């Protein structure tokens, strides 16, 4: 019997894992791993970061141990080799070896910081003349994880937020930066983190502050010669949530004081949570020292919600308000309001207000009439790109896959359906359609259309998919 190699063992483990986790999770958490050493029954794998190590140990340790035992037998162990970026100097990254275990890190101890302010320190949130001793978190108690709808667009950010809420300051997600375009729910998510921490750790000081409020407080402290009070106040916080840090751009003095506060809290093991309308690398007019600290932890983006997530958001809003709308109306809104969550909410409110005022049931026709100002370019000519996106949203696959060379059954099917509708609903030539699918020729498009027509005749499930996709396309053409 040939001697086992680390590559062979890891490849077999990977096959077991691939059968037990969703494809996207496998691609995100296991494809980047490399096996580097096998010593008796100890397998060493290399992961890209401390963040990866903690995530694997928290979410997949049982599966990893089971697969390892199946390959190497009882007494086998897993060790991690982690490449650590040195954020404080120009020296090269260094390697850190850690044993695998099933033990989570213990929560960091609170060092007796009371919920009440030190009486000698002024609270910049308090208006002079009003009596208030405790620090108000400034959180909206209605913004929780329970009403934050999960989808592919926000899954990583939400999962990271839950990890931070469970162990503030005790994970490698420090700082945790959530970034997205406006109206995607990043403020909701960070406030949900804060509310959960408050619920679980009643002796922690949690503070939410928009960066513009922070800036105005700092300017006031300069005017009133109370800089030290301002600094001392923020240095007492256990969990600091700062919204819209992009507005720090080109504000040198505010950046300096924020840098000092950030450093102090981070060194004390306190949790920092930030939001921005763009990734840290795209922020301009920022001190490099501050930018490097933004990159220390995890940056997770929230993208435009897909159709299913938009529909779930609408249904959740309706449930909370105790109202019912016909399924066709909900689908119409979800198809056509595809920019952000705020516009979805605005569209729903408009529908309900008009229906209530006019005492009319909300039908598709009424929805189209009311939402004509929300639905942009409703009479637009349909494009190949739009068809690709709608079909891929339906099958929950990335658009890039239908343009690739992959021959996976589900990808081929989505590609053929997209070609079918592109030929049927656009004025594009066969050659042009083929070019939109990775440079394929006209004969491939003809074959795709023929295959779709044949399956419509013979496959009931396929015919139902085609009809549903056609219905969704037509909704967007009205």
Does residue 129 sit within a domain?
no
252 and 334 together in one domain: no
The predicted pLDDT at position 310 comes to 85
pLDDT above 60: residue 44: yes
Does residue 431 sit within a domain?
yes
State percent of the chain over pLDDT 90: 31
211 and 184 together in one domain: yes
291 and 323 together in one domain: no
335 and 421 together in one domain: no
174 and 289 together in one domain: yes
Q: Which H, E and C letters describe the chain, residue by residue? A: CCCCCHHHHHHHHHHHHHCCCCHHHHHHHCCCCEEEEEECCEEEEEECCHHHHHHHHHHCHHHHHHHHHHHHCCCCEEEEEEEECCCCCCCCCEEEEEECCCCCCCCCCCCCCCCECCCCCCCCCCCCCCCCCECCCCCCCCCCCCCCCCCCCCHHHHHHHHHHHHCCCCCCCCCEEEECCCCCCHHHHHHHHHHHHHHHCCCCCEEEEEHHHHHHHHHHHHHCCCHHHHHHHHHCCCEEEEECHHHHCCCHHHHHHHHHHHHHHHHCCCEEEEEECCCHHHCCCCCHHHHHHHCCCEEEECCCCCHHHHHHHHHHHHHHHCCCCCHHHHHHHHHHCCCCHHHHHHHHHHHHHHHHHHCCCCCHHHHHHHHHHCCCCCCCCCCHHHHHHHHHHHHCCCHHHHHCCCCCHHHHHHHHHHHHHHHHHCCCCHHHHHHCCCCCCHHHHHHHHHHHHHHHHHCHHHHHHHHHHHHHHHHCCC
| Overall average pLDDT of the 437-463 stretch | 91
Does residue 111 sit within a domain?
no
239, 270, 301 - which closes a domain: 301
Identify the CATH number of the domain in which residue 69 sits: 3.30.300.180
- Domain that residue 452 falls in: 384-475
271 and 313 together in one domain: no
292 and 312 together in one domain: no
Does residue 113 sit within a domain?
no
339 and 226 together in one domain: no
172 and 286 together in one domain: yes
Identify the CATH number of the domain in which residue 173 sits: 3.40.50.300
Higher-pLDDT residue of 432 and 210 is 210
284, 301, 318 - which closes a domain: 301
pLDDT band at 96, cuts 50/70/90? low
The predicted pLDDT at position 110 comes to 33
269 and 360 together in one domain: no
Identify the CATH number of the domain in which residue 346 sits: 1.10.8.60
The predicted pLDDT at position 343 comes to 81
> pLDDT by residue (tens digit) across 138-183?
899 889 998 898 888 888 999 999 999 999 998 889 999 999 988 8
Identify the CATH number of the domain in which residue 463 sits: 1.10.1750.10
Higher-pLDDT residue of 250 and 23 is 250
195 and 246 together in one domain: yes
User: How far is residue 173 CA from its own chain's centroid?
Assistant: 14
> pLDDT by residue (tens digit) across 1-20?
457 888 889 999 999 888 88
17/153 Cα distance (integer angstroms): 24
Highest mean pLDDT among 51-60, 86-95, 109-118, 444-453: 444-453
Does residue 132 sit within a domain?
no
| Structural domains counted in the chain | 4
301, 331, 351 - which closes a domain: 301
The predicted pLDDT at position 107 comes to 33
68 and 170 together in one domain: no
pLDDT above 80: residue 253: yes
pLDDT above 70: residue 358: no
The residue whose two tokens read 């840098």 is 259
Does residue 143 sit within a domain?
no
Does residue 44 sit within a domain?
yes
Computed over every residue of the chain, the mean pLDDT equals 82
- With a CB cutoff of 8 Å and minimum separation 6, the contacts of 339 are 183, 304
Does residue 120 sit within a domain?
no
């Amino acid at each position: 019997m040939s001697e086992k190699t680390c590559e062979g063992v890891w490849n077999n483990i990977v096959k077991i894992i691939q059968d037990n986790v969703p494809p996207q999770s496998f691609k995100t958490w296991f494809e980047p791993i490399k096996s580097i050493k096998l010593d008796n029954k100890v397998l060493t794998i290399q992961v890209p970061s401390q963040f990866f190590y903690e995530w694997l140990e928290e979410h997949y340790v049982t599966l990893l141990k089971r697969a390892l035992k199946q390959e190497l037998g009882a007494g086998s162990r897993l060790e991690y080799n982690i490449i650590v970026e040195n954020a404080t100097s120009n020296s090269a990254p260094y390697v850190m070896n850690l044993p695998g275990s099933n033990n989570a890190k213990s929560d960091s101890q609170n060092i007796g910081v009371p919920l009440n302010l030190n009486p000698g320190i002024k609270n910049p949130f308090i208006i002079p003349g009003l009596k208030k001793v405790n620090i108000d978190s400034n959180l909206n108690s209605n913004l929780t994880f329970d009403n934050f709808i999960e989808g592919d667009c926000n899954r990583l950010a939400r999962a990271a937020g839950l990890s931070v809420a469970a162990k503030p300051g005790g994970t490698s997600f420090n700082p945790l930066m959530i970034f997205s375009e406006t109206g995607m729910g990043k403020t909701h998510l960070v406030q949900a983190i804060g509310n959960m921490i408050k619920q679980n750790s009643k002796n922690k000081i949690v503070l939410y502050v928009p960066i513009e409020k922070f800036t105005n407080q700092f300017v006031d402290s300069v005017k009133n010669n109370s800089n030290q009070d301002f600094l001392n106040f923020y240095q007492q916080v256990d969990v600091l949530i700062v919204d819209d840090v992009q507005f720090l751009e080109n504000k040198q003095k505010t950046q300096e004081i924020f840098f000092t506060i950030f450093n102090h809290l981070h060194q004390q093991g306190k949790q920092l949570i930030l939001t921005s309308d763009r990734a840290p690398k795209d922020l301009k007019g920022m001190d490099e020292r501050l930018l490097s600290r933004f990159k220390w932890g995890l940056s997770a983006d929230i993208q435009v919600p897909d159709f299913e997530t938009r529909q779930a958001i609408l249904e959740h809003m309706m449930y909370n308000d105790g109202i019912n709308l016909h399924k066709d109306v909900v689908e119409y809104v979800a198809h056509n309001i595809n920019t952000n969550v705020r516009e979805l909410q605005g569209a729903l409110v408009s529908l309900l207000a008009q229906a209530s005022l006019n005492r009319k049931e909300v039908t598709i026709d009424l929805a189209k009439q009311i939402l004509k100002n929300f639905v942009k370019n409703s009479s637009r000519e349909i494009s190949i790109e739009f068809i690709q996106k709608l079909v891929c949203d339906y099958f929950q696959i990335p658009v890039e896959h239908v343009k690739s060379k992959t021959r996976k059954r589900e990808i081929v099917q989505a590609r053929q359906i997209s070609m079918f509708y592109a030929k049927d609903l656009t004025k594009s030539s066969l050659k042009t359609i083929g070019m939109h699918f990775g440079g394929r020729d006209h004969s491939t498009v003809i074959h795709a259309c023929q295959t779709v027509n044949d399956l419509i005749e013979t496959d009931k499930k396929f015919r139902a998919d085609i009809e549903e996709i056609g219905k969704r396309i037509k909704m967007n053409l009205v």
